[in-house]
Amino acid sequence: MKRSLLILIAAVALSCVKQEPFQIHRGVNIAHWLSQSNARGEARAAYFVEDDVKRIAEWGFDHVRIPIDEEQMFHEDGSKDEEAFGLLHGALDLCGKYGLRAVVDLHILRSHHFNAAVKPLFTERAAQEAFYECWRKISGELKDYSVSMVAYELMNEPVADDPEDWNKIVKECYSAIRELEKDRVIVIGSNMWQSFKTVAQLALPEGDPNIILSFHYYNPMLLTHYQASWMNLKEYEGPVHYPGVVVSGEDLSENTDRDRELAREWIDQTYDKERFAAEFGQVIERAAKYGIQVYCGEYGCLSASNETQRYNWLKDMNETFESLGIARAVWCYREGPGGFGILSGKSTEPDQRMLDCLIGNK
């Protein structure tokens, strides 16, 4: 009964824009909820609730990107996890109530994790068919949401040794969705962790305005992932700078060989708004070929980095996105201490300086 009422409220709220295109500007990722989390039951249900949706809208964001994992949404036999889909429906209904749009991102598959050494998605036909079937079932669940409100993102950060392997999967998955929903906006990311460098290798369907080209951006990683616990950079104890030269050989003259090795890629590299614009320009140029929108679906900087440099980076990113007309979603809404989040842990008080950088108040 409650969900029926929420659907009615959402329908009324969106009735005046139901025929409008799916338009997004600035958003936030709802990480570690239906993706990359072991929480289940009450803990999972309590992680993202109405107060969160309301808060995001009040901050000034216009959309959320909701990562979902196959292992959360579907059982091993391929059947749907009704509880997980119920949570997703609840979130989308609340987005409608508070005027937010949503990108539903199939983040991690059983056959593909962006950091896994083995990715059956690119080598096994059964894994590919299972991927397409996931999207048929997701479409069956979400097809009644207005195309102006909900978009689908095929998969997060594909990593194929041969870009043609990803192009083949894009073509087939796109066709599977289009057989069911001809007007739904489909977000498609570039190969190799959705890098701006690989957009030229990405083959997109021609003549479909309801596609968005997506890329992710975390450069320079030495800053944005400073001492990240899941990377070799956790061992880095040298300096890092932004804007300007990330690190120089002279900076590292008194550091260990290990520090110099970890920083090698970034030595004497300069990062600033000018470089951001040049690198984003490669994505804009590719999207222009197809007449479609560009979307940076992920960007962010760990709060463990130097505060001043972190906020300078976020501010410059936001200003560059604005100047180039690029829609984006920051990573992320909530994360543990030292993470990327606007909220840290269970706090309801945001990092206001971070918000100011993202919304453009400063």
- Indicate if the pLDDT at residue 257 is higher than 80: yes
Question: In this predicted model, what pLDDT tens digit does every residue of 221-231 receive, in sequence order?
Answer: 999 999 999 99
pLDDT of residue 20: 83
Mean pLDDT of 74-87: 98
Q: What is the pTM of this model?
A: 0.93
pLDDT of residue 306: 84
Contact 212, 218 (CB under 8 A): no
Contact 35, 123 (CB under 8 A): no
pLDDT of residue 209: 96
Mean pLDDT of 244-271: 95
Question: In this predicted model, what pLDDT tens digit does every residue of 300-338 receive, in sequence order?
Answer: 999 988 889 999 999 999 999 999 999 999 999 999 988
Question: In this predicted model, what pLDDT tens digit does every residue of 161-219 receive, in sequence order?
Answer: 999 999 999 999 999 999 999 999 999 999 999 999 999 999 999 999 999 999 999 99
Measured distance CA(275)–CA(287) in Å, rounded = 19
Q: Are strands 293-299 and 26-29 parallel, antiparallel or unpaired?
A: unpaired
> Taking the CA atoms of the chain, what radius of gyration do you get in angstroms?
20
Confidence of residue 361 (pLDDT cuts 50, 70, 90): low
pLDDT of residue 30: 98
Q: Domain 2-220+269-359 belongs to what topology?
A: TIM Barrel (3.20.20)
For the chain, the domains span: 2-220+269-359
pLDDT of residue 81: 98
Measured distance CA(258)–CA(221) in Å, rounded = 17
